[in-house]
Structure 1
Amino acid sequence: MAKSRNPEALKAAKAEAKAARKVAAKQRRSQLWQAFQIQRREDKRLLPYMITAFVLVVAGSVALGWWADGLARFLMIPLGVVLGALVAFIVFGRRAQKAVFAKAEGQTGAAAWALENMRGKWRLTPGVAATGHLDAVHRVIGRPGVILVGEGAPSRVRPLLAQEKKRTARLVGDVPIYDIIVGNGEGEVPLAKLERHLNRLPANISVKQMDALESRLAALSAKLGPAAAMPKGPLPAQAKMRGVQRTVRRR
Structure 2
Amino acid sequence: MASEKAKALAAQQKAERKAEKLRKKNSDDPRDWGRVRQIIEAYRRTNEVDPQLKWWTTAAVAGPIIVSVLVGLWVQPWWLWLITGVMLALVLVLSVLTWRVKQANFKRYEGQAGSAEVAFQLLNKRKWSYEVGIAATRQMDIVHRVIGRPGIVLVAEGNPSRARALLATETKKHEQVAYGVAVTNVLVGRGQGEVSLENLQKHIEKLPNVLQAHQITEVKQRLRALDAMRPKIPVPRGPMPTMKGVNRAMRGR
TM over 0.5: yes
Alignment partner of 1:178: what SS? strand
- From 197, 201, 205, give the equivalent of 2:207: 201
AA matched with 1:43: D
The answer as to 2:66 corresponding to 1:83 is no
* Distance in 1, Cα, partners of 2:42 & 2:117: 22
- From 40, 53, 59, give the equivalent of 1:46: 53
- From 128, 131, 137, give the equivalent of 2:134: 128
Q: How many residue pairs are counted as aligned between the two chains?
A: 224
Q: Which deviates more from structure 2 when the two are superposed, residues 179-188 or residues 104-113?
A: 104-113
* Distance in 2, Cα, partners of 1:67 & 1:134: 63
CA 172–78 in structure 1, closer or farther in 2 if over 3 Å, else same: same
Q: Is the 8 A contact 1:113 1:233 kept in 2?
A: no
Runs of 5+ in structure 1 lacking a partner? 1-8, 235-251
* Distance in 2, Cα, partners of 1:232 & 1:42: 18
Q: Is the 8 A contact 1:221 1:227 kept in 2?
A: no
AA matched with 1:115: F
Cα deviations across residues 204-246 of structure 1 (Å, max 9, x unaligned)?
2122211111000112222x33343322349xxxxxxxxxxxx
Q: Is the 8 A contact 1:140 1:146 kept in 2?
A: yes
Q: Corresponding residue for 1:249?
A: none
CA 90–231 in structure 1, closer or farther in 2 if over 3 Å, else same: same
**Could you tell me how far 1:66 is from its partner in structure 2?**
7.1
* Distance in 1, Cα, partners of 2:173 & 2:45: 45
The answer as to 2:237 corresponding to 1:232 is yes
Cα deviations across residues 140-188 of structure 1 (Å, max 9, x unaligned)?
1111111000011011011111111122112323322210011111111
Alignment partner of 1:162: what SS? helix
Alignment partner of 2:120: what SS? helix
Q: Give the TM-score normalised by the residue count of structure 2.
A: 0.73
Cα deviations across residues 87-126 of structure 1 (Å, max 9, x unaligned)?
1122122122212211101011212454245333322122
CA 173–61 in structure 1, closer or farther in 2 if over 3 Å, else same: farther
What's the Cα RMSD here?
3.4
CA 204–79 in structure 1, closer or farther in 2 if over 3 Å, else same: farther
* Distance in 2, Cα, partners of 1:110 & 1:153: 14
- From 220, 233, 242, give the equivalent of 1:214: 220
Q: Corresponding residue for 1:100?
A: 105
- From 104, 108, 119, give the equivalent of 2:124: 119
* Distance in 2, Cα, partners of 1:42 & 1:88: 18
Query: What is the percent sequence identity of the aligned residues?
Result: 35
- From 179, 185, 188, give the equivalent of 1:182: 188
Alignment partner of 1:133: what SS? coil
